[in-house]
Amino acid sequence: MAVVASEIERLIAGNSRACFILGEWGAGKTHMLAVARSLARDRQMATAYLNLNGNSAALSQPQRFYHLIATRLHSCGAAPGLNAALQQWCSDPVLLSRLQTWAVGNANRSDLASAILDIVARFSLAKSWSVVMGADLAAADYGYKRDKALRRISHLGECLNAMGYGGLVLALDEAEMLEQLWNYRSRVGAYSTLGYLVAMKCVLPVFAVTVRFERQIEEDLHFKNVLRNPYLSIPAAQFLTKWQKGEFPRIAPTIVTASLAPLLVQRIVDLYRAAYGAAGEYFDSASVVRTWLASPTRSPRTLIRRTVDSLDLGRNGLG
């Protein structure tokens, strides 16, 4: 939490980079992403969550990112979504003035700023709303659309910074799906996406990854010599070089050991009692822990599920 909080402060200061949460299945990476979003909201920052699997938004297809971010954006005091935030800003004279100042100052370089100006003026233009919400990018697969989507994410971060949020914290889950991009050119495109994301001044990407993510990068660096690939973009090369040098913070959720497992179970029992008033007379915490310790994976998620299932059985008199 301290590392994530420190990276959020760097973002507020305009010196963002990226943060990687490492761990295997069930270790608590997704939970840590939720903690990161909570810490950001405590600082009145905007957040969004993306799952980077191939069905929603693969790393090689960033043109899907912006629409998902705009749809899921959480900003202080507004309903989810960039459209709700814009309507709130337009209804407040102070916020409207900030929005107009940013949009006018950036209209020549940002299609997002230009679209916002149209919306502020008329608030009903379908084309402008398409740009603001990313509908013009989501269904396209052209190379220039990918670059445009990444630039628009960067401009959205700048807009949120100008509006007083300090920027945008992006929680990006399952980045290890990088290894499922079996086509080498696709992975080169994914490295380009990573390079753009970690270089955005007003956006802090927090990635959740397993060891497969690291392993795939090492394979591409040492066995495929990806840094000499003629298709590798400058942002991709910059990301891989920084990764090699260890410039990004890498953290891991606490490992649940044999001594910590009973403590975790007891915390779950306490929460269960607070919710239901009882934990069930048949519940045997020692048995739950023993069964979990016998598992070769020892996933904390499995321990939590088994504990709750046992508590449910006990409460229903089925133990």
Residue 165 and residue 302 share a domain: no
Residue 167 and residue 303 share a domain: no
CA 268 to chain CA centroid, nearest Å: 26
Per-residue pLDDT, 14: 84
Per-residue pLDDT, 141: 64
Domain for residue 256, yes or no?
no
The whole-model pTM stands at 0.84
Residue 241 and residue 133 share a domain: yes
Domain for residue 33, yes or no?
yes
Residue 208 and residue 154 share a domain: yes
Among 251, 272, 305, give the residue marking a domain's end. Answer: 251
What is the SS3 string spanning 135-158? HHHHCCCCHHHHHHHHHHHHHHHH
Residue 296 and residue 242 share a domain: no
Residue 145 and residue 275 share a domain: no
Task: Check if the beta carbon of residue 131 is closer than 8 Å to that of residue 115.
Answer: yes
| Residues of the chain where predicted confidence (pLDDT) is lower than 70 | 123-124, 139-143, 279-281, 316-319
Domain for residue 219, yes or no?
yes
Residue 308 and residue 189 share a domain: no
How many Cα atoms occupy the beta-carbon half-sphere of 87 within 13 Å? 9
Residue 267 and residue 132 share a domain: no
Count how many domains the chain has.
2
Spatial CA neighbour of 14 closest among 153, 156, 161, 112? 161
Among 232, 251, 270, give the residue marking a domain's end. Answer: 251
Domain for residue 207, yes or no?
yes
Per-residue pLDDT, 7: 93
Per-residue pLDDT, 281: 65
Domain holding 145, by residue range, is: 2-251
The angle subtended at Cα 150 by Cα 240 and Cα 47, nearest 5°, is 95
Residue 223 and residue 279 share a domain: no
Residue 275 and residue 225 share a domain: no
Residue 145 and residue 16 share a domain: yes
Q: How far apart are CA 246 and CA 4, in angstroms?
A: 16
Residue 131 and residue 17 share a domain: yes
Per-residue pLDDT, 319: 45
Domain for residue 290, yes or no?
yes
Domain for residue 135, yes or no?
yes
Q: How far apart are CA 201 and CA 160, in angstroms?
A: 12
Among 201, 219, 251, give the residue marking a domain's end. Answer: 251
